[in-house]
Amino acid sequence: MGGKAGVRVALMKDRREILDSIPDPLCILNKDWIGPGVQFIADPFLRRYRDRWMLFFEVMRDDGHKQVGVAESLDLVQWEMIGFPLGEAPCSFPYVLWHAGCWWMFPYHDETHDLLVYRATEPEFPLHWHEWARFELDKSANDRVVVPLADRLVVLYGSRILPWAGTCLKWGFLSFDAKVFCPGGYIGIRSPIQWFANRIWGKSITTYRPAGDRLTVKNRFYLPLQAYGYQREYGNQLGLFRLTFSNGKPRIKPLTYFKASHFVPRWDFTHHLSNQWDGDHLVLAMDGHSTGLKWEIGIFRADVHQVLYTDSK
């Protein structure tokens, strides 16, 4: 697969994926681009800021220490590393959101697992952030995605419970006015039947761990979640889910699964897909790796007319 035509995702009744016309990457960034002492880079979040592009991502050091890095670009091809916005804080999955006149970051902290909320004003962005609030989550909480609603933010995050269930998707409300986080419960948990179907027949299965940005197409929300298929190797697929809200409560519906090799043939694994609309184009940032190849980040660009999502009713 290849070519410049764009991304096309057809969702079939049997939930098999058909991905064709995947655009060739505009560039691929890896550890050598950062410099010595880096194992890999991953978890990209792409944002448009004024006349340039900002890329927030995880930097894994040779000693196992994680940091959040940020780079900028004018053309999505040439990128300049400009710093570490959270300093030495051991964080990854730097979800960044523009909301209520400020920039907000909700990184995953490797040691506390708390819901950390950082804030940056226009003059400070993207390098200077201040901790605005910290809310305690369960000790197995991991990556989180934030969706703005009318008067609050919905936080979706993974949390591990029973062994056969793996990571499950939990949610809660974050009120900026009251500065309060209210847990809401589970909305995604795999059943023992799904677990056995994967083990016996190799059916694709999700871990319900967030895998990047929500995608908005024609006023519909889609959420990528980490998954795996017949090889039973964690992260060899991504699941795409429809995200809806009923009376403020989120709901998800599985739609399809796709592989990293559809984007970059040498990739066998992916954990993350970020997106940002730019006029009539959708810009994607995805991480991937394979045996013998460390995690790296690819940047892609597709035309809006070539991004097709066909939901079953």
R_g of the chain, CA atoms, integer Å: 18
Residue 1 maps to a domain: no
pLDDT, one tens digit per residue, over 132-185 is 999 999 888 999 999 998 778 999 999 877 655 567 899 999 998 889 999 998
Report whether 227 contacts 257 (CB < 8 A). Answer: yes
Neighbours of 291 (CB within 10 A): 6
Task: State both tokens at 199.
Answer: 């083990």
Residue 17 maps to a domain: yes
Residue 2 maps to a domain: no
Residue 3 maps to a domain: no
Backbone angles phi, psi at 191, to 5 degrees: -90, 165
Number of domains in the chain: 1
> Whole domain around residue 276: which residue ranges?
8-306
Residue 107 maps to a domain: yes
What CATH number did the domain enclosing 144 receive? 2.115.10.20
Task: State both tokens at 14.
Answer: 């049997």
Residue 313 maps to a domain: no
Residue 312 maps to a domain: no
Neighbours of 1 (CB within 10 A): 11
Q: Residue 75 pLDDT > 80, yes or no?
A: yes
Distance between CA atoms of 280 and 107, rounded to whole angstroms? 29
Q: Is the pTM of this model over 0.75?
A: yes
Residue with tokens 């220490």: 65
Give how far Cα 106 sits from Cα of 79, 146, 232, 276, Å.
23, 8, 30, 17
Neighbours of 207 (CB within 10 A): 24
Q: Residue 25 pLDDT > 70, yes or no?
A: yes
Report whether 302 contacts 27 (CB < 8 A). Answer: no
- What pLDDT, on a 0 to 100 scale, did the predictor assign at position 195? 60
Residue 218 maps to a domain: yes
- What pLDDT, on a 0 to 100 scale, did the predictor assign at position 310? 41
pLDDT, one tens digit per residue, over 255-290 is 878 888 888 889 989 999 999 988 878 899 999 998
Cross-strand bridge partners of residue 114: none
- What pLDDT, on a 0 to 100 scale, did the predictor assign at position 192? 63
Report whether 156 contacts 210 (CB < 8 A). Answer: yes
